[in-house]
Amino acid sequence: MTSTPQSPPVVSVLMPAFNAARFIGESIKSVLAQTYPHFELLILDDGSTDQTHAIATAFTDSRIRILRHEQNQGLVVTRNALVNAATGKYIAFLDADDIAAPTRLAEQVALLEGGSTDVCGTDHFTLYQATGRRKKSKQVHRDADIRAMMVVACPLCNPSVMGKAAVFKSHPYQSSLDVAEDYALWQTLSLAGYRFANLKQNLLTYRVHDGQISQEKLAQTQAANIHSQERYLLGLEIPPHMRPRPLAWTDRLRTGPAFLWQLNKRIKRVSVKANYQIYARFQKRGNRIWTIFTRLERLLVALVASLRGHL
């Protein structure tokens, strides 16, 4: 049974697809099964050479719009083209190998309509395709924690994100990044003053498999992440040389607490949990004899940093 789309739709679900024939059918079905009906699904086939286009066009639901690049343009160009084509009040991302839970759109629209959030992700399951193992994510959920965690990691799962369309249309993905484009975008939006949240419900299944760009270009991704972290610190007016990374004990005690003092001065009300996770990046791993002491050090520094951030 097909549905008549609302004009205009409230949500534009954006799905970039390149040689995604193995999984795209399941991803499309997960969107069509949403309890929230007021959406359009935009699929952009980025020059696929497999059956991606044929599988997508076999769906007859009138809420689906399919676009196509004759030649592969890359993920950033494809994402930006989808954003430009979107007509909804909100934009939701979903990759062609991931699965949205049935209530995902409804839960995120409800939060965004409340007016306290501009960009919203969710908790999720990670599905390791090779083994079938599923793992729950360990997200931070509050705005301050998400913005603080951006100094060490990407705290939003891109295919779980929904946000105001105006935000994404005015802040496109960076054309120079095709492996860490989402991480850099969240940092840009943070520095611009937008507000974040992660819903605590597991509303996405994020699939990990051998064909992903992030798996094929791991070293390039890591280098891009470090560049993004240093750029973010500059935006926060924190010296990039203080970037959290494993340091010897004496160097860590000089750099780590000072870094957290500055971070909590610029981003207020960061939780002890987030400060604990950030400070852990300064600590070297692997010596189990000292584990209890490093955890105690981590907790004490995090407690003091959070107290300072609440003053």
**Residues contacting 182, CB < 8 A, separation 6+:** 154, 156, 158, 161, 173
The reported pLDDT for the residue numbered 287 is 60
Structure tokens, 152: 């060490």
Residue 179 confidence class, pLDDT cut points 50, 70, 90: low
Q: pLDDT tens, 195-206? A: 999 999 999 999
| Spatial distance between the Cα atoms of 156 and 165, rounded to a whole number of angstroms | 17
pLDDT for 242 beyond 70: yes
Average pLDDT of the residues in 215-230:
78
Alpha-carbon separation of residue 277 from 130, 150, 201, 282 (angstroms): 29, 11, 21, 10
Q: pLDDT tens, 77-130? A: 999 999 999 999 999 999 999 999 999 999 999 999 999 999 999 999 998 877
Alpha-carbon separation of residue 201 from 157, 188, 228 (angstroms): 13, 26, 28
Structure tokens, 3: 């549905």
Q: Burial, 49: exposed, middle or buried (Cβ in 10 Å; 0-12, 13-18, 19+)?
A: exposed
The reported pLDDT for the residue numbered 1 is 36
- pTM here is 0.91
| High-pLDDT (> 70) share of the chain, % | 92
Average pLDDT of the residues in 250-277:
95
Give the chain as a 3 state SS string. CCCCCCCCCCEEEEEEECCCCCCHHHHHHHHHCCCCCCEEEEEEEECCCCCHHHHHHCCCCCCEEEEEECCCCCHHHHHHHHHHHCCCCEEEECCCCCEECCCHHHHHHHHHHCCCCCEEEEEEEEEECCCCEEEECCCCCCHHHHHHHCCCCCCCCHHHCEEEHHHHHHCCCCCCCCCCHHHHHHHHHHHCCCCEEEEEEEEEEEEECCCCHHHHCHHHHHHHHHHHHHHHHHHCCCCHHHCCCCCCHHHHHHHHHHHHHHHHHHCCCCCHHHHHHHHHCCCCCCCHHHHHHHHHHHHHHHHHHHHHHCC
The reported pLDDT for the residue numbered 93 is 98
Residue 294 confidence class, pLDDT cut points 50, 70, 90: confident
Q: pLDDT tens, 5-17? A: 447 899 999 999 9
pLDDT for 148 beyond 70: yes
| Spatial distance between the Cα atoms of 67 and 54, rounded to a whole number of angstroms | 12
Q: pLDDT tens, 46-92? A: 999 999 999 999 999 999 999 999 999 989 999 999 999 999 999 99
The reported pLDDT for the residue numbered 308 is 82
